[in-house]
Amino acid sequence: MAIKRDQADVWFSKAVRHRDRHTCQYCGQEGSDCAHIYGRKTKSTRWSMDNAICLCRYHHRWFGENPLEFHRWLEMHYGVGHMEILREKWNTTLKTNAALRAEISKHYREEFRKAEQDPHYEIVSYN
């Protein structure tokens, strides 16, 4: 069963792709997907900028089919410390409701617009 996407997901995805310049962080190909390190099912990391990276469609699918290789590459790309902190965040619980998702959507919409206007602006993660 597919996980439903709402406006929080849409604006989060735009923010991640903008941050990574719409470029696969693995191979450098332009035109990329927003790939979650820990899947969207886990709310505590679903909208965290440190839990997403741009990948081309090929590598998004390939890493999805080869999670151990993805993890090895992420540890080299981000470092072991980043991955340990992310794993701790993933192990926490976050309950959402419509109001929280609207707040997340608003946050990323505003961050995305700031980043569009200022090329040096660094998008701030919601959590």
pLDDT tens digits along 74-95:
999 999 999 999 999 999 999 9
pLDDT at 2: 65
Burial of residue 8, with CB atoms counted within 10 A of its CB: 0-12 exposed, 13-18 middle, 19 or more buried: buried
pLDDT at 31: 80
> Among 82, 94, 29, 81, which Cα is nearest to 55's?
29
Residues of the chain whose pLDDT is less than 70?
1-3
pLDDT at 1: 55
Helices 98-117 and 7-19: crossing angle in degrees, nearest 10, is 30
pLDDT at 20: 96
Neighbours of 43 (CB within 10 A): 15
Round to whole Å and give the CA distance between 35 and 51: 8
Helix (H, G, I), strand (E, B) or coil at 53: strand
pLDDT at 96: 93
